Structure 1
Amino acid sequence: MGSALIRGLSRTGNHTITACDVDESALDAVDEYCATTTTDLATAAEAPVVFVVVKPDLTAAIVDDLDLADDQTLVSIAAGVSTDALEPRTDARVVRVMPNLAAATGDMAAAVAGDELTDDVVELLDDAGVFVEIDEDRMHTSTAVNGSGPAFVFYLIKAMMDAGVDSGLNPDEAKVLAAQTFKGAAETVLRSDESIDQLIEDVCSPKGTTIEGMEVLRESTVDEAVADAVAAAERRSEELAGEADDE
């Protein structure tokens, strides 16, 4: 996720990026997108906005080691780690973000919680994609929907791709057609004033091909499977929160 954010913000040319990691190979992987790479936490802590992009069980310790001032902003993306858990550990403003890997291409969907969303943070998030502000008690749901969601969508794209290959398309053709179809459908949802149910109906001509396929989907348990996947990810986010509280 850290690499995705770095790549996405770098592509705009609007930001001076410092990457900090104890793993030199991780720094080498993002070196071309950064003004500075370092293993020194104090160097990274000089930035006006500091992203902490580590595993949830490491987040509190890293924040303790960062010596941030009250004119800086700490942005945490750790699943399950609340702003209440971090605010006593730093003088900086604390913002919690649940982004996703599409930040690398500027297509991120993110949820944001925190008492003070500064102009600097808004600009950073806008350059990485789209964000919505939510109540923090809904962060577990966001973690499941937009944080874990790309993997669920990749799974569905692959299922459509595999179906195309099984029916005669070569893998490259099927990959492009399936992925672009998801991309185009998503853009249509975001740009249209119609409900998703109505958009489905718009594609379903009477006695046509789409309505035949939709009847199969509607008679299946695919809705339940997707809901179960989101619920499982949400439960795990809640478990991580409990583990973080025990630290």
Structure 2
Amino acid sequence: MKHVSVIGCGNMGGAFVRGLAKAGGYRVTAIDLDPDALEGVADAADETTTDSAAARDADVVVLAVKPSVAAAVLDDLDLRADQTLITLAAGVPREFVAAQTDANVVRIMPNLAAETRDMAAAATQEGITDEVRAILDDLGEFVVVDESKMDTATAVNGSGPAFAFYLIEAMKDAGVDAGLDAEQAETLAAQTFKGAAETVLQDERSVDELIDAVCSPKGTTIEGMDVLWDSDADEAVRAAVKAAERRSRELAEEFENE
């Protein structure tokens, strides 16, 4: 059974802990200085502790702390060369982390769907191992990219869930305005996004071809799509991704200047 220690059990770290527990085959140690954070994952972790030294016993260590405290946490870690350190800290370059540990380092950008094992993640080519690939496979889908693309991945799949939540809420509100109750509208909107995403992943047709497949001539969908095509909705989404990417680059530059 693979032993994984997760340092930092907030939103993203907690999602990792719960996702690994659901996957099975892992012994998970949750490490955090905040007792409330540990309590939040106690039902999923095999062990909880405030002592970061416990990470030395793991095969794989997941660094899931805020970028601003990453350096301080790394200073306290004493990992072995035969361990792997997966860093999730947004904007923190792999080279910065690798310089402070003997462990093999791979940088990934996951998202909160790790908890339900529907995660989308990007991983750096450098440092990735079969062991890491297996973990990412157990938590969802992943792609391997050059680290120069990680700021873009941070914006697309890391920040992307919030953008999707925003659109789901807009569809839900439209349903409520038209007479559905809030719970009905949320179920229909959320499940529609989930089903559409699965179709994109599993169908060989392009997204444009899938849109055409749903749009019958003179039907309801084409009427709605005409509104979207005539709007700036796509430009707004692109702008949101660009803004998140820009912030990721700014965070990286802060570490490069240290």
Normalising by the smaller structure, the TM-score range is over 0.9
Name segments (4+ residues, structure 1) moved above 3 Å. Answer: none
Once residues 35 and 23 of structure 2 are traced to their aligned partners in structure 1, the CA distance between those partners, rounded to angstroms, is 25
Using the TM superposition, give the Cα deviation of residue 246 of structure 1 relative to its aligned residue in structure 2, in angstroms: 3.2
Assess if the C-alpha contact under 8 Å between 1:83 and 1:114 holds in 2: no
Once residues 27 and 38 of structure 1 are traced to their aligned partners in structure 2, the CA distance between those partners, rounded to angstroms, is 8
Using the TM superposition, give the Cα deviation of residue 114 of structure 1 relative to its aligned residue in structure 2, in angstroms: 4.0
Assess if the C-alpha contact under 8 Å between 1:48 and 1:72 holds in 2: yes
Structure 2 residue 206 is the aligned partner of structure 1 residue 195 = yes
Partner of 2:32: 21
Which of 35, 38, 62 aligns to 1:51? It is 62
Structure 2 residue 224 is the aligned partner of structure 1 residue 213 = yes
Partner deviation per Cα, 1:12-64 (whole Å, 9 max, x = no partner): 22100001000011101101111110011111232110011111121122122
Assess if the C-alpha contact under 8 Å between 1:113 and 1:134 holds in 2: yes
Once residues 245 and 30 of structure 1 are traced to their aligned partners in structure 2, the CA distance between those partners, rounded to angstroms, is 33
Partner of 1:35: 46
Structure 2 residue 152 is the aligned partner of structure 1 residue 141 = yes
Q: How do 1:122-133 residues align onto structure 2 when only pairs under 5 Å count?
A: 122-133=133-144
Question: TM-score, structure 2 length as denominator?
Answer: 0.94
Structure 2 residue 234 is the aligned partner of structure 1 residue 223 = yes
- Where structure 1 has 5 or more consecutive residues not aligned to the other structure, the ranges are none
Using the TM superposition, give the Cα deviation of residue 117 of structure 1 relative to its aligned residue in structure 2, in angstroms: 1.7
Partner of 2:90: 79
Once residues 236 and 221 of structure 2 are traced to their aligned partners in structure 1, the CA distance between those partners, rounded to angstroms, is 21
| Amino acid in the other structure paired with 1:239 | E
Once residues 107 and 140 of structure 2 are traced to their aligned partners in structure 1, the CA distance between those partners, rounded to angstroms, is 16
Structure 2 residue 165 is the aligned partner of structure 1 residue 154 = yes
Assess if the C-alpha contact under 8 Å between 1:56 and 1:244 holds in 2: no
SS of 2:43's partner is helix
Using the TM superposition, give the Cα deviation of residue 116 of structure 1 relative to its aligned residue in structure 2, in angstroms: 2.9
Deviates more, 1:138-147 or 1:75-84: 75-84
| Amino acid in the other structure paired with 2:216 | S
Which of 6, 9, 15 aligns to 2:20? It is 9
Structure 2 residue 119 is the aligned partner of structure 1 residue 95 = no
Aligned residues: 247
Using the TM superposition, give the Cα deviation of residue 244 of structure 1 relative to its aligned residue in structure 2, in angstroms: 2.1
| Identity in percent | 59
Deviates more, 1:159-168 or 1:111-120: 111-120
Question: TM-score, structure 1 length as denominator?
Answer: 0.98
Partner deviation per Cα, 1:179-227 (whole Å, 9 max, x = no partner): 1100010000000000000000001100101001000000000011000
